């Protein structure tokens, strides 16, 4: 059984943990007065590739560089001619390459933020993953007939190839046109984010997740 544990004994710090039995699934620390960046989207530049870590470090416009694992880099960013089945990070990505990244986990101690290029945009009923064609489906919290109905509605939606969708629990009972309305909003948002990333040079904040 999954549970969320919150420790707020210190007024300036709050710790949140998600556990399943005795297993820790996720852990976050929120410090009062520190800007939260999780979910923010940035134009970033690769500053160092570390084959031994199967990751790279990127400048994304903040004081400390971020950490980007190879598994979190979309194939869209691989250099031309690289075989995606056998690719190594030193072949697929080079220093100076520009990427669009999203903060997955906040900075912790002396560690930089964990980043991903698999951007996700949360709408009212859906989550759009514009550069991850294999991540779609229905929220695990949706079961039974509701799950089947949402799957049928997802199949009716129109969006570009190479993208995927996740139906949220809020989508239960919504019609396909209602879901399409939510999707159209996110597609326009993604177009604006993608356009902004191509218009500017260097590393900078493009989209700030609403708290």
Question: What CATH number does residue 143 fall under?
Answer: 3.30.230.10
Residue 147 and residue 103 share a domain: no
Low-confidence ranges of the chain (pLDDT < 70): 1-19, 21-35, 211
For position 33, what pLDDT does the model report? Answer: 44
Structural tokens at position 82: 């690289």
Residue 125 and residue 191 share a domain: yes
Domain membership of residue 86 (yes or no) is yes
Residue 20 and residue 57 share a domain: no
Residue where a domain terminates, one of 111, 135, 157: 111
Residue 13 and residue 79 share a domain: no
CB 152 within 8 A of CB 180: no
Give tens-digit pLDDT for 89-146: 999 999 999 999 999 998 877 788 999 999 999 999 999 999 888 878 888 888 889 8
Structural domain containing residue 24: 2-31
Residue 107 and residue 148 share a domain: no
Residue 61 and residue 22 share a domain: no
Give the CATH number, domain containing residue 104.
Answer: 2.40.50.140
Q: Which residues contact 171 (CB under 8 A, 6 or more apart)?
A: 125, 126, 142, 150, 153, 179
Domain membership of residue 209 (yes or no) is no
Provide the domain count of the chain: 3
For position 1, what pLDDT does the model report? Answer: 64
Domain membership of residue 36 (yes or no) is no
For position 85, what pLDDT does the model report? Answer: 87
Structural tokens at position 192: 């604006």
Domain membership of residue 202 (yes or no) is no
């Amino acid at each position: 059984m999954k549970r969320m544990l919150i420790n707020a004994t210190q007024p300036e710090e709050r710790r949140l943990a998600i556990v399943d039995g005795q297993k820790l699934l996720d852990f976050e620390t929120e410090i009062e007065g520190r800007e939260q960046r999780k979910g923010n989207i940035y134009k970033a530049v690769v500053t160092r590739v570390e084959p031994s870590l199967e990751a790279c470090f990127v400048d994304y416009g903040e004081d400390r560089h971020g950490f980007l694992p190879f598994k979190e880099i979309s194939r869209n960013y691989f250099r031309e001619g690289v075989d995606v089945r056998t690719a190594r990070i030193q072949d697929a990505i080079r220093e100076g390459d520009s990427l669009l990244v999203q903060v997955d986990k906040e900075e912790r101690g002396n560690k930089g933020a964990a980043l991903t290029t698999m951007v996700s945009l949360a709408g009212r009923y859906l989550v759009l993953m514009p550069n991850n064609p294999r991540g779609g489906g229905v929220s695990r919290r949706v079961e039974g007939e509701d799950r089947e109905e949402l799957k049928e509605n997802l199949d009716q939606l129109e969006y570009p190839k190479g993208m995927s969708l996740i139906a949220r629990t809020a989508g239960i009972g919504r019609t396909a046109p209602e879901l399409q309305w939510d999707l159209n909003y996110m597609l326009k948002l993604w177009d604006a984010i993608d356009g902004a990333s191509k218009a500017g040079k260097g590393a900078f904040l493009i989209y700030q997740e609403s708290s």
